[in-house]
Amino acid sequence: MQDERELLRGNTPTMVLAILKDGAQHGYGIAREINRRTNNALKFKQGTLYPVLHALEAEGFVSGLWETIEGERPRRVYTITESGLTEYERRIRVWNEFVHAMGRVTEGVTGNEQPA
């Protein structure tokens, strides 16, 4: 379980950016969409998600605006920025290279051989 938490922690910003590239969302909506897309395999608590959102906002990768709907509590809605899209694409390249390299290691592939 510790390994899964470490993988989740290191990849949460990428997942958040992936959700936001499909449209603006508030924190609860981001968490719900990650749960939905992973068939509830990954679940986020506020203590995990909001520090990531705040860090992404501080880095300029997302912007947040308060939204007030009549009869509801105000909520912060996040949108991915242009630099956030660039960062998302960079992270996906790095992730794909990592997955490919791990596949080669776990399949015992050397040199230019392709994994089975």
* Residue-level pLDDT at 44: 77
- CA-CA distance, 84 to 18, in Å (whole number)? 10
What does pTM read for this prediction?
0.84
* Residue-level pLDDT at 21: 97
Residue 86 CB-density burial (10 A; 0-12 exposed, 13-18 middle, 19+ buried): exposed
Any bridge partners for residue 79, and if so which?
A: 63
Name the one residue in this structure whose structure tokens are 């938490």: 5
Any bridge partners for residue 76, and if so which?
A: 66
- If we measure between CA atoms, which residue out of 28, 47, 46, 48 comes closest to residue 36? 28
The tens-digit pLDDT sequence of the chain (116 residues) is: 455 666 667 789 999 999 999 999 999 999 999 999 999 888 877 778 999 999 999 999 999 999 998 998 899 999 999 999 999 999 999 999 999 999 999 998 876 666 55
Q: Which domains does the chain have, with CATH numbers?
A: 2-81 (1.10.10.10)
